[in-house]
Amino acid sequence: MNAFDNAFERKWTVIFLLEFFFIMMPFPWFYDLEYTPWLFGVPRFIYCWLAYGLLVIGTIALWWRSCMKRPEYQEYED
């Protein structure tokens, strides 16, 4: 099975690639050259990384649930 074989695979490949490219961009909320305190004095980028990690885990869970509804993912080898 290829990542671009059908619309389902294409859609999820694009979603995960967009998440990858988003995290690779040098946005200031993912890194700090100077200390920027936020809640309880923890640097801002720590909270942003945690939020992005939860977003990625949620996306993986959504992908898993949508995969388990499709018949080609229900076939198991004996």
1-5, 11-15, 26-30, 70-74 — which is least confidently predicted? 1-5
pLDDT for 42 beyond 70: yes
Helix (H, G, I), strand (E, B) or coil at 43: strand
The answer to whether residues 2 and 13 touch, using CB atoms and an 8 Å cutoff, is no
Cβ partners under 8 Å of residue 45, min gap 6: 29, 30, 31, 32, 36
pLDDT for 63 beyond 80: yes
pLDDT for 74 beyond 90: no
The pLDDT score that the predictor gives to residue 1 is 67
pLDDT bin (cut points 50, 70, 90) of residue 64 is very high
Q: Is the pTM of this model over 0.75?
A: yes
Residue among 48, 55, 18 nearest 30 (CA):
48
For residue 65 the two structure tokens come to 């649930």
